[in-house]
């Protein structure tokens, strides 16, 4: 099988910025740079990643921020992962 790994894959657990117990894995930010994203829209890229993480999103992952780049876009960017905005308390049901 021809498995093309992403060029960059970075996952940040941002749960500590939120009102959740210590050690929680609820709020994440992922950054992916992959050739797979060539000629795809942002929505398609996000849907792709959401689908891969479908099980996680249904079992406790509450927030998922996504940054998805093609290698060319990544080269042109500042090549840094962003930080999520501050929590405003709506995490709890």
91 DSSP 8-state letter: T
50 binds other proteins (CB under 8 A): yes
3-class secondary structure, 6: coil
Contact of 29 with 82, CB cutoff 8 Å: yes
47 binds other proteins (CB under 8 A): yes
- Smallest distance from other proteins to CB 22, Å: 16
Among 15, 37, 70, 74, binds other proteins (CB under 8 A): 37
Largest Cα separation within the chain, whole Å, is 45
Q: How far apart are CA 47 and CA 39, in angstroms?
A: 15
- Smallest distance from other proteins to CB 36, Å: 5
Among 21, 22, 23, 43, binds other proteins (CB under 8 A): 43
């Amino acid at each position: 099988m021809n498995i093309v790994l992403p060029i960059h894959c970075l996952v940040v657990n941002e749960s500590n910025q939120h009102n959740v117990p210590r050690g929680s894995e609820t709020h994440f930010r992922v950054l992916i740079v992959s050739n797979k994203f060539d000629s795809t829209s942002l929505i398609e890229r996000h849907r792709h990643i959401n689908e891969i993480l479908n099980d996680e999103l249904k079992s406790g992952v509450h927030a998922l921020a996504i940054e998805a780049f093609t290698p060319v876009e990544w080269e042109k960017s500042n090549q840094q992962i962003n930080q999520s905005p501050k929590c405003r308390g709506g995490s709890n049901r």
